[in-house]
Structure 1
Amino acid sequence: MHFHHIAIEVKDLETSAAFYQKYIGLQEERSFLFGGEKIIFLKADNFRLELISTTEQSSNNPSSMHMSFEVDSINEVAQHFNENGIFAIEGPYKLENGWETIFYQGPDNEVIEFMQIGGKADT
């Protein structure tokens, strides 16, 4: 068994797809209709994000799920988002095990975590 994808119901499919393409670097793998819902799969390496168009999610209720991406540099992530007027909702934090983490909010209130596990040290 291996991980295949994370799915998020979004209120504006095109806005969400553009956000994940621009800020996370995902590329559209395929889009289709299924059961009356428009779906877009975005992919980078072995990671897939399924965006499902819905009108039911309230824009006032944050998503109860989050997704996490491992990155080489928390500082580079923060700089990229800050330059585009998007600021962290939590962090950056340095955890007891040496990992560093920072959290952002996506266009449908989903929480996106970035973790620097090791290797490249931020200076």
Structure 2
Amino acid sequence: MIPVESIHHISLNVKDLERSKAFYSTIIGLKEIERPPFDFPGAWFGIGEGGQQLHLIVYDGETLREGGIDSRDGHFALRVRSYKESIAWLDQHGIQYDARPKARAGFPQIYVIDPDRNVVELNAEVCDLE
């Protein structure tokens, strides 16, 4: 068995780095962190307080994603403090989402897609809509 301690980072392919940086900083609320001087463009973001990271990598290849939001597609999930506040924020910024306040998973979920059609799940411990 491999003694896994935690997830360190998630890497996503993006086509327009500035557009993706704006989405992950302004809409999702992640803070950009220092990135080593690789020989290809990209950006790193810190996630929460546990040291996890999101790495954006500029990639000109093809992806499989063509349709809308699909929760069964490959995605990553971020735990949010408030389901209600997250919905309000997405509405305020005109971001399309699939809200599942009573999800079968046992916790409320919101699915969004980033500008490069990567699926992101936002979930909360409880549904605080009322």
* Aligned-partner Cα distance in 2 for 1:97–1:52: 30
SS at match of 1:31: coil
Q: CA deviation at 1:75?
A: 1.8
Structure 2 counterparts to residues 31-70 of structure 1, below 5 A? 31-34=35-38, 36-44=39-47, 45-46=49-50, 47-58=52-63, 61=66, 64-70=73-79
Residues 101, 113 of structure 1: 8 Å contact kept? yes
1:60 Cα offset (Å): 5.8
Q: Distance in 2 between matches of 1:84 and 1:101?
A: 18
Match of 2:90 among 62, 81, 88: 81
Q: Which runs of 5+ in 2 are unaligned?
A: none
Q: Which structure shows the bigger proportion of residues in strand conformation? A: 1
Look up the SS of the partner of 1:76 in the other structure: helix
Name the counterpart of 2:32: 28
The sequence identity of aligned pairs, in percent, is 28
2:112 is aligned with 1:108: no
| Equivalent residue letter for 2:15 | K
Give the aligned length. Answer: 120
Amino acid paired to 1:109: R
Q: Is the 8 A contact 2:14 2:59 kept in 1?
A: yes
TM-score normalised by the chain length of structure 2: 0.79
Residues 12-55 of structure 1: CA distance to partner in whole angstroms, max 9, x if unpaired?
Answer: 11110111000111111123443x42121111322310000111
The answer to whether the 8 Å contact 2:27/2:93 transfers is no
> Are the structure 2 counterparts of residues 84 and 59 from structure 1 closer, same or farther at C-alpha, using a change threshold of 3 Å?
farther
Unaligned residue ranges in structure 1 (runs of 5+): none
Match of 2:129 in 1: 122
Give the Å deviation of 1:122.
Answer: 2.7
Q: Deviations over 1:58-113 (max 9, x none)?
A: 5963694211111122221111011111121x222413464111111111101111
Give the superposed CA RMSD.
2.4
